Structure 1
Amino acid sequence: MAPPHIPGEPGSERLAPAGRTSRFLKWSAPVLGALLVLILGFVLMMSIAEVFVLSQLSKIALLLGIMVLSVSLMIWIQARVHLAENRQEATEESLHLLSDALIQARRDLAQHRESEQALRDADRSKDEFLATLCHELRNPLAAIDHAGELLLDLDDDQEQREWAVRIIRNQTRQLALLIEDLLDLSRISKGTLTLSLHPASLPQLLQSAVDAARSFLEDAKQTVVFQLSDEPMWVEIDPARMQQVLINLLSNACRYSDPGKSITIAATPRLSEVVLSVRDQGIGIDSTLMPRIFGMFVRGEAARNRSPSGLGIGLRLVKLIITRHGGTIVARSQGIGHGSEFEIRLPRIAPPAHLSTQNHPGIPAELPQLLIVDDNRPMVEALRLLLQREGHEVRVARSGRDALQAIGLQRPDVILLDLELPDTDGIELAQVLRSSDHSTPPPIIALTGSGRPTDLDALQQAGILALLQKPVRIQELRETLDRIFRERAGTH
């Protein structure tokens, strides 16, 4: 059965004249036969004198001849009608197929044009993305380079020295966040992003995120107003990832708000979830953009005019991370000029049994002694100085061989181990340390600057308890150390 035809499409016309002729012949044949039989009967009933002087046998022969002729004529007419119907059906079927082919060709052409347009749009988005990425990378690098030149020329101007150092710190953090966002998008698309879930108090997490975003909040002259419930609000999250989410939202609020405006962070517990919102008094979101606000490379014209910076990937990453936590996020805005709000809902959990690490035998009374195993001299020296200012005793090893010698001389409390050493693989070195040490081996925190996926099972089998991305954030390292000793204390 041929598929239905769309009115107005090619080939929807029927062979109306041929159809009427066939139907006329089909119905006229029996009528003609009946008429012939009546005529023959009439002739038979006529007297011999009225027609011809024929014998009885001749009349019978004549009658049979006429009947044979009539039947033959009827058979011939039926055959012609049947043949005409077959030809009509074949013709209509051919027209149906041709019509379907034309319709499909038209649809394929439309799809081809849509695909071609989508490819052009994707190519344009890619070009815009690469251009914006170059802009986002060059600006901080230029600021860092200029601040470095200024530091070299300064003598005793402490104020300008602090300003230059602050510029370098802020721009470096901006670069690190940008690279981390790009890597996370790649990990999520490949399914390699893993979460290290732990119970966390939401107010503490919010305060930590605001502290981490303090530099660009101050640069934008923005203030943060907290509206938090007094009830306990505990969630099971990856603290580093959730802080990344909050920093992205705070960064957008700063970027698209005028100086002196406030950003409101509110959190309210519900029966089975915690509702967190970040509201700003910025330019708002156009209603036409709202359905696509969490898409890749999406930026409205108002946002482009307001701030040419930004890759348009932050909100996409925010949604993906929240979804991986089992939560939801929605955006709200009354339109351009009315600010925006992002509301996050996360599953709520009961407060942990132990809320403090005090008096646990597994947690050292003093700050742990650290051994950094890494061959990147500038990074290691800067990290060593920062950790020493925190109060840690820090030693450094440049290779796997140096690390084994340093551990043999004095056993550290924690090892910060680069996974890509010049003389060995970091995982292999961790396995050696685990097998060669007859006592409990020191906790190992892996460091990596690679964007390639990391085999987390291999890390766990080697005794590595955590993985941190370079550049290492001091706050993240503090939280990781606290978590490791908290967990080790719980095993005693």
Structure 2
Amino acid sequence: MLHPDDQQRCLDLWYESVRTGEPFQIEYRFKFPHVDEYRWFLGRALAVRDESGRITRWYGTSTDIHDAKRTEAALRASEERHRALAEALREADRRKDEFLAVLSHELRNPLAPIKNSLYVLSRAAPGSERARRAERVIERQIEHMTRLIDDLLDVTRISRRKIQLRRTAVEMNELVRRTVEDHRSVFERSNVALELALADRPAWVDGDPTRLSQIVGNLLQNAAKFTGPGGWARASVSAAETEVLVHIRDSGMGIEPDMLPRLFNPFMQADTTLDRSRGGLGLGLALVKGLVELHGGDVHATSEGPNQGAEFVVRLPAIAAPAIEAPSSPAPGRASLGRILVIEDNLDAAETLKDALELGDHEVCLAHSGPEGLATARVFRPDVVLCDIGLPGMDGYEVARAIRADPSQRATKLVALTGYASPEDRQRARDAGFDRHLGKPPDLDALLQILDELVRARTSA
């Protein structure tokens, strides 16, 4: 009847009570005939003695305490869960405070060189070396801030499973080679040697080439950031029947053992020094992990400790080589002059975009509100309207619907140019009648190419 785990404990205590006469008390489990489960009981016994003190018998009880034990266990488990949750909330709150401090630091840092460069540009001779140097500084710092904001948005989209991959067959040798070349200048500026070793066979995966390049690029940036002058980094690809591996190894500062399990957590900072000479928001590796897992793969890091370098290995499922497609016809030449209407309430953004588009041989007209944009469109008759979403008077969605409702403008191409860049925002733009959706700030070369395509489509319609 006794549970096997309780038998010896129960006998030992009983024999001790018999030997000493001390009261017997124990919690043990019984299972009676025709009952499927063991139940907890509290057993108690007291010695009954005669006038000389000799034990003549024992008197005891056995009380069913099973429901109380189960409630007690549930309460203990609940308390443990609440303690763990409270600790997790404290840790999350601490990391949030650290992240906000880091975010403030990282967003403020580019503002100083931008402000200084604007001061120089206002006083330097146009086209002088000093002016060109200031322009290059502004361009680099804006790219840096854009990358920080993109990383924040990407982490949020991944955590909410909002990222949609544009999958195609990707040959990883070629993708890694191109990405390494794109980042080689970063290593050269840091005086870090960068080596490349490709697989001896094609390495095909099913994935989004932009996101796969982002994975490799983030790991390369990480290697460049944490490897000092005179060090080296190595990117390599290996391929098997079922998997493709990408290795990024460096001779840099290495990783503390206690940091390895937490390395891919968002906002995890390996550089906690006050000057934060390594910079960053601690999002790069979290993005790598999220994007790799979206591709059905995994990523892990190894390091022998401080100053021993580190290695990151990305594992992706391999696919068979795709069938060779017939070569496509060459792209048509650049379109002739197009008429572009920019509807943007930020005057600086509107004027600088106008200047950039006019460099691309387009005729550009500006409007700074929704109603002004509609009135201008009726007179200017643009081929393409570049329209912000957050506009005074009426928002960009209303502008698009109004243009689409005008029979004389239904062939006009509409491009949403906005900071609202979630999948829901893109769908809402399509529903309103936009042909394209671009996030701010746009890549101007890519924007000019899109405008050329839309102008050709508009004029050939």
CA deviations on 1:153-199 (whole Å, 9 max, x unpaired) are 43479333333222222121111111111122222333333344456
- Considering only CA atoms, is the larger Rg found in Structure 1 or Structure 2? 1
Q: Which residue is equivalent to 2:15?
A: none
Q: C-alpha distance in 1, partners of 2:120/2:174?
A: 38
CA displacement, residues 410-452 of structure 1 (integer Å, 9 cap, x when unaligned): 542x543322333433234334444545798355432221366
The aligned length equals 419
| 1:326–1:347 contact (8 Å) kept in structure 2 | no
Q: Is the 8 A contact 1:445 1:467 kept in 2?
A: yes
**1:48-75 deviation per Cα after TM superposition (whole angstroms, max 9, x unaligned):** xxxxxxxxxxxxxxxxxxxxxxxxxxxx
Residue identity in the other structure for 1:358 = P
Q: CA deviation at 1:392?
A: 4.3
**For residues 454 and 193 of structure 2, what CA distance do their matches in structure 1 show?**
34
Structure-2 change in CA distance of 1:477 and 1:156 (3 Å): closer
Q: Quote the Cα distance in structure 2 between the aligned partners of 1:373 and 1:352.
A: 44
Residues 256 and 306, structure 1, Cα contact 8 Å, conserved in 2? no
Tell me what 1:358 maps to: 330
418-427 vs 439-448, greater mean Cα deviation: 439-448
Q: Deviations over 1:260-298 (max 9, x none)?
A: 544433345555665434333322233332232211222
Partner of 1:53: none
Residue 104 (structure 2) pairs with residue 134 (structure 1): yes
Aligned mates of 1:419, 1:2 — CA distance in 2: 74
> Post-superposition shift, 1:257?
1.1
In structure 1, what is the Cα distance between the partners aligned to 2:308 and 2:356? 42
With over 3 angstroms needed to count, the CA separation of the structure-2 counterparts of 1:323 and 1:98, relative to structure 1, is closer
Structure 1 residues 231 and 104, CA gap change in structure 2 (3 angstroms): closer
The Cα of 1:254 is off from its aligned counterpart by 1.9
1:285 aligns to 2:260 (yes or no): no
Corresponding position: 1:402 with 2:403:
no
RMSD: 4.6
- Note if 1:369 corresponds to 2:338: yes
1:221-370 equivalence runs, <5 A: 221-222=191-192, 224-228=194-198, 237-268=207-238, 270-271=240-241, 274-300=244-270, 307=277, 309-344=279-314, 345=316, 348=319, 350=322, 353=325, 356=328, 358=330, 363=332, 365-366=334-335, 369=338
Query: In structure 1, what is the equivalent of residue 84 of structure 2?
Result: 114
1:422 to 364, 369, 392: 392
Change (3 A) 1:436 1:185: same
**CA distance in structure 2 between the aligned counterparts of 1:150 and 1:243, rounded to whole angstroms:** 36
* 3-state DSSP of counterpart to 1:338: coil
Q: Distance in 1 between matches of 2:241 and 2:375?
A: 52
Deviates more, 1:473-482 or 1:445-454: 473-482
Q: Unaligned 5+ residue runs, structure 2?
A: 11-24, 29-41, 50-55
1:283 partner letter: M
Select which of 44, 47, 64 maps to 1:93.
Answer: 64
Per-residue CA distance 1:227-281 (angstroms, 9 max, x = gap): 3458666655445444443442232122111135444333455556654343333
Q: CA deviation at 1:113?
A: 3.8
The letter of the residue matching 1:381 is E
Structure 1 Cα separation of the partners of residues 454 and 325 of structure 2: 17
**Aligned amino acid, residue 426 of structure 2:** L
Task: Verify the 8 A CA contact 2:335 2:455 in the aligned structure 1.
Answer: no
Task: Check 1:170–1:223 CA distance in 2 against 1; reply closer, same or farther (3 A cut).
Answer: farther
Aligned residue in 2 for 1:37: none
Matching residue's letter, 1:369: G
Could you say what secondary structure the match of 2:415 adopts?
strand
2:45 to 17, 27, 50: 17
1:180-220 CA-to-partner distances (Å, cap 9, x unmatched) read 11122222333333344456665675566567657755653
SS of the residue aligned with 1:383?
Answer: helix
Amino acid at match of 2:120: L
- Pair 1:233–1:352, CA change in 2 (3 A): farther
Task: Indicate conservation of the 8 Å contact 1:240/1:476, yes or no.
Answer: no
Matches within 5 A, 1:125-204: 125-155=95-125, 158-197=128-167
CA, structure 1 residues 388+126, in 2 after alignment: closer, same or farther (shift >3 Å)? same
State the Cα distance separating 1:378 from its structure 2 match.
Answer: 1.8
Structure 1 residues 301 and 376: CA distance shift in structure 2, 3 A = closer
Task: Tell me if 1:393 matches 2:365.
Answer: no
Instruction: Please say if residues 271 and 278 of structure 2, whose CA atoms lie closer than 8 Å, have aligned partners that are also in contact.
Output: no
CA distance in 1, matches of 2:364, 2:397: 20
Structure 1: distance between partners of 2:364 and 2:161: 37
Identity rate, percent? 31
Is the 8 Å Cα contact of residues 417 and 437 (structure 2) preserved in structure 1?
A: yes
The 3 A distance-change label for structure 1 pair 211 and 148 is farther
Aligned-partner Cα distance in 2 for 1:364–1:440: 26
Judge which range, 176-185 or 438-447, deviates more. 438-447
Q: Distance in 2 between matches of 1:373 and 1:270?
A: 52
Q: Residue in 2 aligned with 1:382?
A: 352
- In structure 2, what is the Cα distance between the partners aligned to 1:19 and 1:483? 100
Cα distance in 2, alignment partners of residues 460 and 475 from structure 1: 23
* 1:201-216 pair list within 5 angstroms: 206=176, 209=179, 216=186
Task: State the alpha-carbon separation in 1 of the partners of residues 6 and 47 from structure 2.
Answer: 19
